[in-house]
Structure 1
């Protein structure tokens, strides 16, 4: 039987490198603890050193965001080194003992016995073993590494529940309380704040459609019911507006468009992308609010050409389109409110990366049983059919 090759993401590799660089563990210790191959770990260390030296490392060149992260890590590492010097000045004897214990561990890898190494270095075996017992055990080290890697991979957005499912997906047994403990010890906390600004105007004289969807958000098949809306993104250059189309079956973003204004053309561009990607059959229900853009003659004509049934929320009722509202909240919590965009182009790139690189293929969705939208569509779970009455 062929053994399946293990796959590790960049966040996990970085966490393993930090165990060697920052925590003083040897490569052999890390490999035994994390059940990794020594060749792979040394390759990750070499890549890390190459990137710090200014090279692109093994693989793709660093992005501007990765370069900023590397710069911050270098500054943090310098601060830790400066702090270490001060600690050595005040507790030299303790530091010497700790260094000696690490040397003993390294010498064990060279087939030197503990008693011989301790005798030569002038430390007691009892002190060495007491120091080793104080370190976390292998299972806890593995759990901590995977939790920190999953948190970093989520863009520092996952709470304890999603982190638990993300770590379990890596084959690590862990409970939510243990995840919380690791988060507290490592200072990991997802913070966000709510903001709201109206983006559509429902005070108009154009005809509005009935609420065909009627909050039937649990849809049994793809391309049966979509939702759409517009939100705003703050940049130093001014507002950038984002229109999105979401498939209710998998909560996958199937179309989006951005512009510095929000005319009808913005929502039509997002819908055109969704139609090109998904090619839905006639009879698709597309729900939105009562904004003037969605009630416009141009938009309604586009729906009619493709045989799409228009559905609109009741006046002033945001709960009628809650899946779309929730996506926008997630986007802002997990990405937009953690950034300060210098201009529209930077915001476009970052939001597109969030949708294409994180939300659709990676982000765990509680409604889908903690799998990503792409994974849910690849291996759909059985769902009870729910009819969408076409109240035209």
Structure 2
């Protein structure tokens, strides 16, 4: 437990301060005090104050009695006598100075305490209109506070992925109309923090010697559901080499994830496992020029499925936008916020499985007229 310093200890510290400087005096203070004090400026300030007191008022200033720091209670009993001794000119000068001070402060509450003055006189003194003096500050009422619980339920269901625009659409379905910009201000006021996307990219090997035509030509919304885009993305994890690899296939028309696989290795087998899970045939398989997509095994499997191979131009990620967009949603909305680099493959698999199920069946999209991919697929 820390102790108060004696007069002798303080005099020792003051002498050190005068001869050796404030740094050495601070060290001596810490040794005597025997307590960890974080703020160095506090100690230095205290030493300088004590030195000033000793130099100007002597050693007795260090021996303060208990409670000596308290302010004395003000005695106003002599005020009537002072007023009676003032001349009329002195009173007029004091009153004039007081009125000016009130106008500078504009403190309506202070002058309101003077009961002998009527409202008109109080308003004149502080140079304010009489009707303004009556005004009371209005308590701001928030029109949409009643939506807070509903919004919180939507956010929890989406694990705080949905932003103001999608929440606004879901509220409208529940007959609760609010503009998404207005909702954005309310989300901030309620303290709801939405997950934001953080872009991360990693270069991968491209087989530029293999040439396949781009049959899709950025047709992101075909009239029939016959285009499936696929790609592989890395997922940071607790594994040698630091990454797992996610292969996924998405429908251009419905934006539904048709199949996906997670593996420790980014090879042709990962792509083959993904294609085998697609419950469709006779479609265009669109990918980039990744070396695994141009392998003989994958090309042969695509032919067996009665499908056509289409590849985007090298260095044009927009040619494969649909699957790239899905990966950006998966990482930006979810995986980047749960620290996957400390998870094993089973834990990451469960998280991805939840997200893809939610993405297909619950996540509404503007391109689908605010429907889910599953609903859009059922309409076709």
- State TM-score, norm by structure 2: 0.59
* Cα distance in 1 between the residues matched to 2:218 and 2:257: 19
**Cα deviations by residue, 1:174-193 (Å, 9 ceiling, x for unpaired):** 22133112211112233231
- In the alignment, what sits opposite 1:345? 346
User: In the comparison of the two structures, how many residue pairs are matched?
Assistant: 238
The equivalent position to 1:194 in structure 2, one of 187, 199, 205, is 199
- Report what 2:216 is aligned to: 213
Distance 1:196 1:202 in 2: 15
Query: What CA distance in whole angstroms lies between the structure 1 residues aligned with 2:349 and 2:238?
Result: 13
In 1, the alpha carbon distance for the partners of 2:163 and 2:234 equals 25
1:333 alignment counterpart: 332
Aligned-partner Cα distance in 1 for 2:376–2:337: 28
Secondary structure, aligned partner of 2:230: strand
- Distance across 2 between alignment mates of 1:378 and 1:134: 50
**1:148 CA displacement:** 2.1
1:310 and 2:309 correspond: yes
Q: Distance in 2 between matches of 1:338 and 1:169?
A: 29
Is residue 144 of structure 1 aligned with residue 117 of structure 2? no
SS at match of 1:310: strand
For residue 235 of structure 2, what is the aligned residue in structure 1? 233
Consecutive unaligned residues of structure 1, counting only runs of 5 or more, are 1-132, 381-392
Within 5 A, what are the aligned runs for 1:1-392? Answer: 140-190=144-194, 191-198=196-203, 200-203=204-207, 205=209, 207-222=210-225, 224-237=226-239, 238-274=242-278, 278-280=279-281, 282=282, 284-341=283-340, 342-356=343-357, 358-380=358-380
Q: Which secondary structure does the structure 2 equivalent of 1:147 belong to? A: helix
Whole-angstrom distance in 2 between the partners of 1:333 and 1:169: 26
Q: Distance in 2 between matches of 1:298 and 1:378?
A: 33
TM-aligned CA deviation for residue 134 of structure 1: 6.7
* Distance in 1 between residues matched to 2:346 and 2:140, nearest whole Å: 47
Higher alpha-carbon Rg: 2
2:130 corresponds in structure 1 to none
RMSD: 1.9
Once residues 186 and 368 of structure 2 are traced to their aligned partners in structure 1, the CA distance between those partners, rounded to angstroms, is 26
List gaps (5 residues or longer) in structure 2.
Answer: 1-137
Aligned partners of 1:373, 1:288: CA distance in 2, in Å? Answer: 20
Q: Please identify, of 358-367 and 145-154, the stretch whose mean Cα deviation from structure 2 is larger.
A: 145-154
Distance 1:167 1:177 in 2: 14
- Equivalents in 2 of 1:319, 1:167: separation in Å? 33
Separation in structure 2 between the aligned mates of residue 178 and residue 340 of structure 1, nearest angstrom: 32
The 8 Å contact of residues 150 and 167 in structure 1, kept in 2 or not, is answered as no
Matched position secondary structure for 1:295: coil
- In 2, the alpha carbon distance for the partners of 1:295 and 1:201 equals 12
